[in-house]
Amino acid sequence: MSDSQYSKQAMGNILPLKDAFMCFFFVSVGMLLDINYLLDNLQILVFATLALIIVKSIAGVVANLFLGAPLRTTILTGLALSQVGEFSFVLSRLGVEYSLLTEETYQAFLAVSILTMGAAPFLINAAYKPVDFIVRKVSETPLGMKIVNGFYSSSLQEETDVEPDIKDHIIIVGFGFSGKAISNAAKTAGIPYIIVESDPETVKQEKMKGESIQYGDAVFGAVLEHAGIKNARVLVIAISDEASTRRIVEKAKELNPNVCIITRVWDLQEMEYLNDLGADEIIPEEYETSVEIFFRILRKYLVPQEDIEKLVNDLRSNGYLMMRKLSVDTSTEFNSEFSLKDGLPGVDIQVVKVEEGSNFDGKTLADLELRKKYRVTVLSIRRDSEMIYVPDGNSLIQAKDVCVILGEPKDLFNIRKFFENVHE
């Protein structure tokens, strides 16, 4: 049926029952357990549970090491596999029916299995800091560094032995959906970038496609240095591991205090920790999801596009201002860093591109009289790889230039059409 035209509808009908069946399964397993047997043999059952967790964790770690996974991923995966799987209950019940297991052995198995399933989530949550400590200690030697990066990482490291000689580039940590989208955008805009990815298979595949990608775990300073963190302008962290994100932010700011760090979070409470560590821009996925929903609702109600953009921009500005106030306490400590949006309310900065056939193409700033006619100021101009930081009246505007302009939001919105292929 999975290959038929009815497969998607069938899946849609079944998915709502998934959680209900999972509840029934675990409740039924709990009802099979003899509580009196558990209490009477608690010590030996706890010992058996610890032994099983240790044995299964070691087996998972060894298997992942031979597969070439990084040490941190290997240990966390081993802990995640330390619990008894659900299918074991089915096999154990068959063992009782065919007299392969006695009732006492079956109860012992049930008790140990339930204890491992209950302990596994707490064990994994508590493991991040010890695992990071182990990885730091192991990475102090050349052999340990090979274990940390994975046994099959040496060939990848040999290919990227020389540190890239680029400046003002973007370092993208993680090559999932977000990382790919960011790299494509950077490639389209002609901005140099380097990707840091900890999955060796992904690195091999993308290198064959000509992608600028390096293997390594960005929590290590050596990996960031190899990606040119000291000369980078922006570091984008596109991974979902909160503990690793914190360490990357901390290490990156230590190596280059001037680098702009952009990262994402799902939990709004995580913003405070990342802000304290030095992250410059923190994108909350939950909030951006609500903004996108709002945007699509307005389109369904046929609200004009310019009104939608204004409403969405206002929503983002007010929302991020509120979240900055939540994450930064400015009432008790003077903040010496001036924020344009906070210090000059009603003023914004936008980046626009001069299109072919634009009314501004081939004219100087003095000819355009942007301040007088449109009430905006050109702060800088980027032409290919050249940056004009302080343009004067004789500065020429050409097609494909990227201009950074300052002004009130309504004035910025009104002038954007003149940078496009539209004449007065």
**Whats the size of the chain, residue-wise?**
424
Class of domain 340-419: alpha beta
Whether the CB-CB separation of 252 and 230 falls below 8 Å is answered with no
φ and ψ at residue 318, rounded to 5 degrees: -65, -40
Three-class SS string for the chain? CCCCCCHHHHHHHHHHHHHHHHHHHHHHHHHHCCHHHHHHCHHHHHHHHHHHHHHHHHHHHHHHHHCCCCHHHHHHHHHHCCCCCCHHHHHHHHHHHCCCCCHHHHHHHHHHHHHHHHHHHHHHHHHHHHHHHHHHHHCCCHHHHHHHHCHHHHHHHHHCCCCCCCCCCEEEECCCHHHHHHHHHHHHHCCCEEEEECCHHHHHHHHHCCCCEEECCCCCHHHHHHCCCCCCCEEEECCCCHHHHHHHHHHHHHHCCCCEEEEEECCCCHHHHHHHHCCCEEEEHHHHHHHHHHHHHHHHCCCCHHHHHHHHHHHHHHHHHHHHHHHCCCCCCCCCCCCHHHHCCCCEEEEEECCCCCCCCCEEHHHHCHHHHHCEEEEEEEECCEEECCCCCCCEECCCCEEEEEECHHHHHHHHHHHCCCCC
Whether 152-327 shares its CATH topology with 340-419 is answered no
Q: At what angle do helices 103-138 and 71-80 cross, to 10 degrees?
A: 160
* Domain coordinates in residue numbering, the chain: 33-147, 152-327, 340-419
| pLDDT tens digit at each of 424 positions of the chain | 556 666 656 766 776 777 787 788 778 877 888 888 888 888 999 999 999 999 999 998 888 888 877 788 888 888 888 888 878 888 888 888 888 888 888 889 888 988 988 888 888 888 888 887 887 777 777 677 777 776 665 554 544 444 556 788 999 999 988 888 888 888 887 888 999 988 878 888 888 888 888 888 888 887 888 888 888 999 999 888 888 888 899 889 989 998 999 998 877 677 778 888 888 888 877 667 777 787 788 777 777 777 777 777 766 666 555 555 444 444 444 444 455 555 566 678 888 888 888 888 888 999 888 888 888 999 899 887 788 888 888 889 988 888 889 888 888 888 888 887 655 4
pTM for this entry:
0.56
Task: Could you please state the CATH topology (level 3) that the domain comprising 152-327 is classified under.
Answer: Rossmann fold (3.40.50)
Q: In whole angstroms, what separates CA 28 from the centre of its chain?
A: 38
Place of tokens 């900890």: 198
Rounded-to-integer distance, Cα 288 and Cα 122, Å: 30
